[in-house]
């Protein structure tokens, strides 16, 4: 009858609008963050990390040719709830890093006009979509937690040494190694800090889908220059001539009315 035909039209229109909106690239990442230009909230549910630090599963580290990726076995998938994630649960998919050829750059987001040496992204997908693949193109599909790393002249950060050991074991492209499942301890302290920045944005790699709730912790984690340097040894091609020396997307200009929230839960 006429009713179903009409609702089909509405559905088609809505789908079209959704696609059109995505094409506008209104929510591209990374962006610059500043406290002054953010909206402050101090009554928010805390963001809860479950299984990220006390994991007893199997963890692997892989050189993909573009970055190094940490994964946990399915049996021990960490998950996130609370904060800006509404009532949904977000499952850990992987953690990876961005860096450049220079310790004074290498992060993707810029915080108060400052760049850091590296940025780590803990990628999570919304459990209601069942898998990362089915969540990646949904507006509320992903939550990526970002941490800055700053190279200093000081000693190695001992909590970060398991990551560095992993890097040294996957210098060749497409190689994988096992690492200790408690290897995320280096972000624990920062992740338990009260303040973080959050906004709706995109993947920073192709296909740049606008499906990410970004959550960024502003205080950098200190590591040594040598610990960062090991990442630049990773090979990006099978012929082993080319190293991964820059996997950072430049800053994207957000629309003037873009909302960035800083949350002190
Ligand atoms: O760069 C990563 C890419 O490797 C892939 O992990 C993708 C989906 O998880 O996310 C981007 S990013 O936006 O987290 N940098
Ligand atoms: Zn990333």
Concatenating the DSSP letter of every residue in the chain gives -HHHHHHHHHHHHHHHHHHHHHHTT-S-S--EE-STTSEEE---PPEEEESSSS--S-EEEEE-SS-EEEEE-GGG--EEEETTSTT--EEEEEEEEEE-SSTT---SSEETTB--SEEEEEEEEEGGGSSHHHHTTSTTSEEEEEEEEEEESS---GGGHHHHHHHHH--STT-EEEE-TTTTHHHHHHHTSSEEEEEEE--SSTT--S-EEEEEEEEEEEEEHHHHHGGGG-BSSTTS--B-----PPPPPPPTT---EEEE-
- Judge if the beta carbon of residue 205 lies within 6 A of ligand 1: yes
From first to last of its 265 residues, what are the pLDDT tens digits of the chain?
455 565 666 666 666 555 544 445 678 999 999 888 888 888 777 899 999 998 889 999 999 999 999 999 988 899 999 999 989 999 999 999 999 999 999 999 999 999 999 999 999 999 999 999 999 999 999 999 999 999 999 999 999 999 999 999 999 999 999 999 999 999 999 998 878 999 999 999 999 999 999 999 999 999 999 999 999 999 998 888 899 999 999 999 877 777 888 876 5
Neighbours of ion ligand 2 (CB under 5 A): 121
CA 246 – ligand 1 centroid, Å: 15
Its pTM stands at: 0.90
191 lines ligand 1 (CB under 6 A): no
Query: Ligand 1, atom 4: nearest CA belongs to which residue?
Result: 205
Report the nearest-CA residue for atom 2 of ligand 1: 205
Whether residue 204 has its Cβ less than 6 Å from ligand 1: yes
């Amino acid at each position: 009858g006429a009713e179903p035909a009409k609702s089909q039209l509405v559905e088609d229109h809505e789908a079209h609008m959704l696609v059109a909106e995505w094409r506008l690239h209104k929510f591209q990442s990374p962006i610059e963050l500043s406290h002054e230009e953010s909206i402050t909230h101090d009554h928010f549910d805390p963001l809860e990390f479950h299984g990220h630090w006390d994991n007893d599963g199997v963890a692997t580290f892989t050189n993909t040719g573009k970055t190094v990726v940490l994964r946990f076995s399915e049996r021990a998938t960490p998950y996130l709830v609370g904060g800006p994630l509404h009532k949904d649960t977000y499952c850990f998919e992987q953690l990876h890093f961005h860096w450049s050829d220079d310790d004074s750059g290498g992060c993707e987001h810029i915080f108060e006009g400052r760049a850091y040496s590296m940025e780590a992204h803990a990628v999570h997908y919304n459990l209601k979509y069942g898998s990362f693949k089915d969540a990646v193109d949904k507006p509320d599909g992903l939550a990526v937690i970002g941490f800055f790393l700053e190279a200093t002249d000081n000693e190695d950060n001992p909590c970060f040494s398991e990551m560095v050991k992993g890097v040294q074991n996957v210098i060749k492209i497409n190689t994988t190694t096992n690492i200790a499942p408690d290897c995320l301890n280096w972000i624990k302290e920062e992740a338990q800090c009260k303040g973080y920045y959050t906004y709706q944005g995109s993947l920073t790699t192709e296909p740049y889908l606008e499906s990410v709730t970004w959550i960024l912790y502003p205080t950098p984690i200190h590591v040594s220059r040598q610990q960062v340097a090991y990442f630049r040894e990773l090979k990006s091609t099978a012929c082993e001539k080319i190293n991964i020396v820059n996997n950072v997307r430049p800053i994207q200009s957000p629309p003037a009315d873009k909302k960035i929230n800083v949350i002190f839960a």
